[in-house]
Amino acid sequence: MQYNWPLIGHTHIKRYFEKVLQSGNIHHAYLFEGPQHLGKSTFARLLIQTLLCEEKDRQLPCGICRPCDAFKHTAHPDFFELKREEEAHISIEKTREFISTLQTRALLGSLKIGMIEEAELLTQEAANALLKTLEEAPRSVILFLIASEPLLPTISSRCQKITFHFVGSHDMEQAFQRERKQSELLRLASGRPGVALRMKESAAQESYMGEMQEIRRLLKIDEGERLLWITEQFGSGNKISDRRVHAKEIFDMLELTLRELLIVEPTLKAEPVISMLKRTAQAKQFLKANVDPRLICEYLLLDAS
């Protein structure tokens, strides 16, 4: 049996799931964990389509059967997705609705499959509601949790954990060998296929570089200017949910910029950069705990040097 999984890198993960599917020993819940932009969601969708595909004698997923066609058009009645939309977190109400849909009878096959994007954004109450499903999941239900940050031990311990790492330079070079300015593209992507794919368009690359330059500028200005910058970013007119989303974007870009500095500027003192990375990780935890985004930014940036 051959599998049609056009995923950049992660050969060991693909081989593992080939064996799982061939043996039929499929776990009831998988946790795909690792940094953003590595292909966790992409591979989860490929795997889910494979599980739902009704073709069994040729390359999977076939892409042409009724379930594959429905999946490609986001209309498969046995696949359900839970993700944050405009809210800063995934609420217990949406989680309960998600669980309820998984408990109904499958319509096109024998499986019901659920996927939770950014599972780290589940509230404590939502995680507790999900816990019972993880403990007592019917054999016809398979769950995929996608997370870029650690989950509660009570959740992660009940899943088969699959860790995604940064993709090696050889795989990245092979995947983007026809791209102009390949070396610049791969340097900025730093082993993250999702970033490289986003930056293939020159406008996106310019936008990404502009965001990174703004963060670098922010790290160089004094605390008074940083305070003004924070005030501009988190004006009182914005909804709290919008401020939380914006804060997460800032923290993500700050983290990427700091990692970039460690790679491209070897003469830079690593200790303060690593310290800032730790503070950024802590800031993300504060955001998950519903601390005000502006206060978190002040904590993070007004003592940065």
For the chain, domain boundaries: 11-163, 201-301
Which residues, other chains included, contact 88 with Cβ-Cβ below 8 Å and sequence gap of 6+? 121, 240, 241, 244, 245, 248, 287
Please state, for a pLDDT cut of 90, what percent of the chain lies above it. Answer: 48
Report the pLDDT averaged over residues 25-50: 95
CB contact at 8 A, 121 and 87? no
Q: What is the pLDDT of residue 16?
A: 97
Summarize pLDDT for 131-164 with one digit per residue, the tens: 988 988 888 999 999 999 889 899 999 999 999 9
Topology of domain 11-163, CATH: Rossmann fold (3.40.50)
Summarize pLDDT for 190-236 with one digit per residue, the tens: 899 998 888 777 667 778 778 888 988 988 888 889 999 998 888 76
pLDDT-derived band of residue 26, with 50, 70 and 90 as boundaries? very high
Report the pLDDT averaged over residues 78-93: 87
CB contact at 8 A, 144 and 27? no
pLDDT-derived band of residue 266, with 50, 70 and 90 as boundaries? low
Report the pLDDT averaged over residues 82-109: 89
**79 phi/psi in degrees, rounded to 5:** -120, 130
**DSSP track, 12-68:** HHHHHHHHHHHHT---SEEEEESSTTSSHHHHHHHHHHHHH----SSSBS-S-SHHH
Q: What is the pLDDT of residue 46?
A: 96
